[in-house]
Structure 1
Amino acid sequence: MKRSYCLIRQIIPQPKKLWIRLMFCWIVKLSNMLYDERLSPEMAEDQVIYNEHQVRYELAVALIQDLDSEAVVIDCACGEGYGVKHLAETGRKIIGIDISEEVIKTASVKYQADNLSFQVDSAEKLATVKDSTVDVVISFETIEHLPNYEAYLANVGRVLKTTGYAVISTPNKAVFGAKNPFHVREFNKQEFVEVLGKYFKQVKVYEQFNGLASWIAGEGEGKAIVSSPSKPYYFLAVVSQSELPKMPGTVMSGNGLAYERRENNPAWKLINKVYSIVRKFV
């Protein structure tokens, strides 16, 4: 709760009246159960949030593998370092940045490699990063948390080389109906395109979907079939002042544990038990 309260306190001033503070703490505590704002693989492997992050980073890895071996890549708001670990496997120079000292300490111990480093810094300022020194900025699920998201975009543009690009994702406002107290500003697709276009000449927005999956573990090349797609849950943008990189093909991630967790839901078990009793009288 302490971590979440610190995060949300940056957005909303601390209330003076006791009853408002108590309600505020209750909302934050409830939010911890409803919203996964930082990914910890050990805690999330049986949840869809794991796959949501996994496909983004798999796509990012595919992109930066085409870069020069000396390329510099920043993971802005890297959290506990799950994605940084995968980016570092490409052999490029990876820098994980997060505003939380506690999180950076944890990530620095947990993930170590010669081409990997971590820095405490604000996504809105990127004060530790010099102008025009970065080839790629990866920044997933960040912009919606920032009060000054336009300063964030300006500084992402500042640190990128002329030929550099950024990969930025955010939730689709049209899908997430419940108000997430950790989000300052959410965007629909048009709003996202417009705000990115204020800072980058080239903007391409892709859509990320969630859904139940069924697959057969066969041999050789596979095939992905998407039936009855819903609205996109997230948008993923690639932005640059110059030519955009060639995007890889569709990236999908299935989660058997998440499906098993759904099937083991107490409500499902109760329904199955009632059904088995009713069957005896048929």
Structure 2
Amino acid sequence: MGNFNWAEESSRLWDEKSNFWNSRSQEMWENGSRKEIIPFFQKFVDEQAMVCDLGCGDGYGSLKLAQSGYAVTGVDFSEEMVHKATLLNSENNSKFIKGDMAELPFSENQFDAAMAINSLEWTEHPLKVLKEIQRIVNPGGKACIGILGPTAAPRVNSYRRLYGEQVVCNTMMPWEFEQLATENHWRKISEFGVYKRESEQLPTGSLSSSIRQAISFMWVFMLENIKE
């Protein structure tokens, strides 16, 4: 346990998962759990804005952003993911780099907005990442952040921590992230939930935000950087 290196383990894990992820990402963004994210993003971020896609994976989300008129720079811990993202986006001007979300190689206020979908849970220090996002996004800029909800199957990746094992999935509830963001100079301006089919039968519109978050598969926030 003493030799556990989060960065190395995370990079190795996602290199190994790259083919599996690549086989599923198009369906998620086109018809699945992520299909509403880009339309949601467009409501708050002007076309042609400079956007940083953090934890970009194989770059399908970046492709959707580019097709919507944004100038995209993607970052991922996995060399394999960056390679796939570059190939997928070969016909647009998006750029991709291997990097640590907690130590981004960008200048202050370089971007108009950031997107991080289900990637903060895979960082060792989510608060440090949130502050890095704030550093690279200009004041008044936006951050679209998706957090896995309690019903999301990927949470099994963090289960072994209960046996004292080191894991690279930093389980975080949507309401915990919301509080973390609010306490650190971000203002929530909108949000929406994604649910499993079983939950779609429930009258979610009549439930409180906390209850809706509690039964969600994913919760997507739109935040504004209010740090001066």
Do the two structures share a fold, i.e. TM-score over 0.5? yes
Tell me which residue corresponds to 1:57: 38
For residue 194 of structure 1, the aligned residue among 179, 182, 185 is 179
Q: TM-score under structure 1 normalisation?
A: 0.60
| Range moving further from structure 2, 49-58 or 145-154 | 49-58
Count of residues paired in the alignment? 199
The residue identity in structure 1 corresponding to 2:216 is P
- C-alpha separation between the residues in 2 aligned to 1:121 and 1:242? 26
| Range moving further from structure 2, 176-185 or 107-116 | 176-185
- C-alpha separation between the residues in 2 aligned to 1:53 and 1:7? 26
For residue 140 of structure 1, the aligned residue among 103, 106, 117 is 117
Q: 1:7, CA displacement in angstroms?
A: 7.5
The residue identity in structure 1 corresponding to 2:88 is K
Look up the SS of the partner of 2:132 in the other structure: helix
Look up the SS of the partner of 2:134 in the other structure: helix
After superposition, where does 1:1-282 map in structure 2 within 5 Å? 9-10=9-10, 39-40=21-22, 42-43=23-24, 51-64=32-45, 66-67=46-47, 69=48, 71-126=49-104, 128-173=105-150, 175-176=151-152, 179-181=156-158, 184-204=169-189, 206-212=191-197, 227-229=201-203, 231-242=215-226
- Post-superposition Cα deviations, 1:101-130, rounded to whole Å, max 9, x if no partner, equal 22112221221244311111111111x211
Q: 1:38, CA displacement in angstroms?
A: 6.8
Unaligned runs of 5+ in 2: 1-5, 159-166, 205-214
Cα–Cα, structure 1 residues 124 and 101, in superposed 2: closer, same or farther, change >3 Å?
A: same
Percent identity between matched residues is 16
C-alpha contact 1:39 1:82 (8 A) present in aligned 2:
no
Unaligned runs of 5+ in 1: 1-5, 12-27, 214-225, 244-282
- C-alpha separation between the residues in 2 aligned to 1:7 and 1:50? 32
The residue identity in structure 1 corresponding to 2:133 is V
The residue identity in structure 2 corresponding to 1:9 is E
Tell me which residue corresponds to 2:207: none
| RMSD (Å) for aligned C-alpha atoms | 3.4
C-alpha contact 2:121 2:170 (8 A) present in aligned 1:
yes
Cα–Cα, structure 1 residues 58 and 147, in superposed 2: closer, same or farther, change >3 Å?
A: same
The residue identity in structure 2 corresponding to 1:153 is L
- C-alpha separation between the residues in 1 aligned to 2:123 and 2:221? 17
Cα–Cα, structure 1 residues 38 and 193, in superposed 2: closer, same or farther, change >3 Å?
A: farther
Greater strand proportion: 2
Q: TM-score under structure 2 normalisation?
A: 0.72
Between structure 1 and structure 2, the one with the greater Rg is 1
Look up the SS of the partner of 2:147 in the other structure: strand
Look up the SS of the partner of 2:181 in the other structure: helix
The residue identity in structure 2 corresponding to 1:168 is I
Look up the SS of the partner of 2:32 in the other structure: helix
